[in-house]
Amino acid sequence: MPIRTRFAPSPTGYLHIGGVRTALFNWLFAKGQGGQFILRVDDTDQQRNVEAALAPILEGLRWLGLDWDEGPEVGGDFGPYFQSQRGAQYQAAVDALLACGAAYRDFARPEEIQAEREQAQEAGQQFTYSRKWMAADAAAAAAFEAAGRSGVVRLKMPRTGELVLQDLVRGPVRFAWAREQDHVIQRADGSCLYHLATVVDDHAMQISHVVRAEEHLSNTPRQMFIYQQLGYPLPQFAHLPYVAEPGSKHKLSKRKLAKYLKHRDFSRLKRHGDNIAARLGLSVEAEVFNPVIVDFYEQVGYLPTAVLNYLLLLGWSLDDATEEFTREQMRQHFSLDRVNKAPASFDPQKLLAFQERAFQQLPVKQKTALVLPYLQRAGLVCDPPPCATAPYLSQIVTAAGDRLKVAGDILDYEDFFVPDEQLAYDEKTLAKRFQNAAGAREILTDFRQELGATTSFDADAVEVVLKSFVQRQGIQMGQIVHVLRLALTGKAVGFGIFETLAILGKTRSLARMDRLLAQECD
RNA sequence: GGCCCCUUCGUCUAGCGGUCUAGGACUCCGGCCUUUCACGCCGGCAACACGGGUUCGAGUCCCGUAGGGGUCACCA
């Protein structure tokens, strides 16, 4: 039998990082064995706007390269892939369940059920529905309806015995049937609920392995009951531990961003992103720009493989040493039996470490291509870029070296793209290295003269000039380097000073030095 | 609270009875390199939740305890 897995998000408007991990494991498991990965939209409860709420999810998966063999936009032989369009199949399943006595029509009002529940709780007992409003046959149903009641369909769960679920991650898990409730599978208006829909669809789509988050573990018995009663063969189940918050074991949640920001590493991650977003004019609000949402990483300029590589190791490992995986290696080595049982905390620092390593390994040409859109979106480079941009940018990327950790980091070097007369100075640096630095003005003035007479202006040449200048003046390197960097970039930190001069070229370097020298000193 | 799951350095993890004075990675702390920053290099701190068994021998098996988490919907 072919391996078929699925990822079945409900259209919530964003792709949660934990959801990505679930999708990744499903994708790897199927692809590693030549199987298929199916994307299905669980929108039984969603009303309007499914398309808008689904778009970010599809985009996120595409960005990560988690392509689906069947599902929205690609079709397939087992569609439709939206639960909202599969009502007829659910109805047929409800009818079958009703016919075989595995389900019944129930006419209790919600408050009546609630009352029973509270009563049980007060008595310190487990709640088990009395089935008082269960319609035993059509006549009984008609009588309830005549009394103005409307009916739902409930599962008629067994009340004795035990069930053993053979979970691929957890091993055997035992449940007592008596603990299970008569869950509603169809509402009075005919719409069906998740537990029924997911079983019907997983069967119809021939899903062989249901790989999903641990929060579904306790749902599994009632789903297995439906499988059994409908005569469907059982798929294999694998319940993954969820992705936990940084520094705790709670489930990572988009809503708790404020809390996470108290965590040092997490707030660093967010600030790093915010700096980039701010320069792009993007909103940094939690609803749309949130490290719990995968879109955050795309916006900031992470590499999909780095994100995937990090997520792969969150709850799974190959051995005691291997950390770096190409996409192909992931597919080759992934296995469900090496998935951990305990939840794993999301660690922003480690994610960044994977990103750094991956980005470092990229050739300059590729980095340049990744970085360019950021400059364009920030309005620093035209679109399409002028011919001179490519070699210029390539010089900058080379000089930046490992300082570029994500593509958006290029915006730290925007000073190379602003007109000389608009260069902004960092205030503290201006005061420290120029206004309050004894002799700085004179040294810079002298060096400006020297540089003005230089013909060759590559990094090696200016290095020779500067070093001989320092020697002849009898000064320290530090006395010229800092004020010079301030003049050229407006900042205290940046590339090597020789590269900086070479990149800017003679004309612009001199112009920038003149501009600083024209500043008032007080 | 009931049910279910989980428990090795701060974090991710290796470990499937002796090779564990517990290994790797990230972070952190020192140091080196150096014109700043970043990178890089060298070194360091740091863990088997606890208590009972089983066994010649337990991080590894069993049972308890504690702690953590998930779930208890006409959400998915």
Q: Which amino acid residue lies closest to nucleotide B4, measuring CA to C1'?
A: A218
Q: Which nucleotide is nearest to A196 (CA to C1')?
A: B76
Q: Which amino acid residue lies closest to nucleotide B36, measuring CA to C1'?
A: A493
State pLDDT tens for residues A31-59. 999 999 999 999 987 666 788 999 999 99
Query: CA of A515 vs C1' of B47, distance in Å?
Result: 58
Query: CA of A280 vs C1' of B24, distance in Å?
Result: 39
CB burial of residue A453 (10 Å; 0-12, 13-18, 19+)? exposed
Give residue A79's pLDDT band: very low, low, confident or very high (50, 70, 90): confident
User: Which residue in this structure is represented by tokens 């013909």?
Assistant: A455
ipTM over 0.90: yes
Query: CA of A168 vs C1' of B48, distance in Å?
Result: 25
Q: Report the C-alpha gap between A61 and A66 in whole angstroms.
A: 5
Catalytically active residues of A, by annotation: 254
Give residue A354's pLDDT band: very low, low, confident or very high (50, 70, 90): very high
Provide the mean pLDDT of chain A.
94
DSSP A310-326: HHHTSSB-SSSS-----
pLDDT value for A426: 93
State pLDDT tens for residues A359-402. 999 999 999 999 999 999 999 999 899 999 999 999 999 999 99
Answer whether residue A157 shows pLDDT above 60. Answer: yes
Q: Report the C-alpha gap between A222 and A184 in whole angstroms.
A: 11
A337-358 average pLDDT score:
96
Q: Which nucleotide is nearest to A127 (CA to C1')?
A: B2
Q: Is A82 left (phi over 0), alpha (psi -120 to 50) or beta?
A: beta
Residue A163: helix, strand or coil by DSSP? strand
Asked if residues A183 and A81 have their Cβ atoms less than 8 Å apart, the reply is no
Q: Which amino acid residue lies closest to nucleotide B1, measuring CA to C1'?
A: A124
Computed on alpha carbons and rounded to an integer, the radius of gyration of chain A in Å comes to 31
Query: CA of A340 vs C1' of B20, distance in Å?
Result: 22
Query: CA of A216 vs C1' of B28, distance in Å?
Result: 37
Other CB atoms closer than 10 Å to residue A7's CB: what's the count?
A: 25
Q: Report the C-alpha gap between A501 and A503 in whole angstroms.
A: 6
Given the DSSP bridges, would you call strands A184-186 and A152-155 parallel, antiparallel or unpaired?
Answer: antiparallel
Asked if residues A440 and A433 have their Cβ atoms less than 8 Å apart, the reply is yes
Q: Which pair of structure tokens corresponds to residue A265?
A: 């590493």
Please list the alpha-helical segments (H only) found in A415-458. 427-430, 440-452
Give residue A522's pLDDT band: very low, low, confident or very high (50, 70, 90): low
Q: Which of A47-56, A120-129, A470-479 has the highest mean pLDDT?
A: A470-479
Asked if residues A209 and A8 have their Cβ atoms less than 8 Å apart, the reply is no
Model pTM score: 0.94
A435-455 average pLDDT score:
91
Q: Report the C-alpha gap between A135 and A101 in whole angstroms.
A: 12
Query: CA of A240 vs C1' of B64, distance in Å?
Result: 28
Q: Report the C-alpha gap between A410 and A276 in whole angstroms.
A: 9
Asked if residues A323 and A329 have their Cβ atoms less than 8 Å apart, the reply is no
- Collect contacts of A44-53 with beta carbons under 8 A, ≥24 apart: A44/A83, A44/A84, A44/A191, A44/A192, A44/A193, A44/A194, A44/A197, A45/A10, A45/A194, A46/A10, A46/A11, A46/A84, A49/A11, A50/A11, A50/A82, A50/A84, A52/A13, A53/A11, A53/A12, A53/A13
Q: Which nucleotide is nearest to A250 (CA to C1')?
A: B69
Buried b (16+ CB within 10 A) or exposed e, A58-68: bebbebbebeb
A473-479 average pLDDT score:
90
Q: Report the C-alpha gap between A456 and A57 in whole angstroms.
A: 53
Asked if residues A414 and A378 have their Cβ atoms less than 8 Å apart, the reply is yes
DSSP A186-209: E-TTS-B-HHHHHHHHHHHTT-SE
Half-sphere exposure of A8 (CA within 13 A, CB side): 26
Q: Report the C-alpha gap between A373 and A382 in whole angstroms.
A: 10
Residue A157: helix, strand or coil by DSSP? coil
As ranges, strand B nucleotides with an atom below 7 A of a protein CB are: 1-8, 10-15, 23-27, 35-40, 68-76
A132 phi, psi to nearest 5 deg: -65, -35
CB burial of residue A369 (10 Å; 0-12, 13-18, 19+)? middle
Q: Report the C-alpha gap between A91 and A186 in whole angstroms.
A: 9
Answer whether residue A272 shows pLDDT above 70. Answer: yes
**Which secondary structure element, helix H or strand E, spans residue A134, and what is its range?**
strand A134-135
Query: CA of A397 vs C1' of B14, distance in Å?
Result: 38
